[in-house]
Amino acid sequence: LLDLCAETMAAQRIPRNDDLGRLVARVAGLHQMSSAVAGALERHEPADVPAAVVKVLGTTTEGDIAEFAHLAVDSVAGEDFCAI
């Protein structure tokens, strides 16, 4: 969904919005955090707290992405978004 938002924004079918960059940065950060948790688990180190943090932040980010897409649809009714 985030990729579709980025493509649609790049094609100038929805207005530019700085929140897209913030969401992409959060996803990139979550990816790094998730990789760190996986590394800790491979080394048999405790990772329950970091894993829980990644889970909570991931769930929050997922909701924020859905809300961002919803607001983008409200601003300009796009056929690409309506198909999802």
Please tell me the total count of domains within the chain. 1
The one-letter amino acid code at 5 reads: C
Please answer whether residues 23 and 65 qualify as being in contact, where contact means their C-beta atoms are separated by less than 8 angstroms.
Answer: yes
Task: Read off the pTM.
Answer: 0.82
Kindly indicate the confidence band of residue 74, based on its pLDDT and cuts at 50, 70 and 90.
confident
Residue 55: per-residue pLDDT: 98
Q: What share of the chain is helix, strand, coil (3-state, %, to 5)?
A: 80, 0, 20
| Domain, as residue range, for 16 | 2-82
d(C-alpha 5, C-alpha 53), whole Å: 26
Tens of pLDDT, residue by residue over 10-67, are 999 888 999 999 999 999 999 999 999 999 999 999 999 999 999 999 999 999 999 9
CA–CA distances in Å: residue 18 to residues 25, 56, 81? 11, 23, 19
Side-chain half-sphere of 6: how many Cα atoms within 13 Å?
10
Enter the DSSP assignment of 13: S
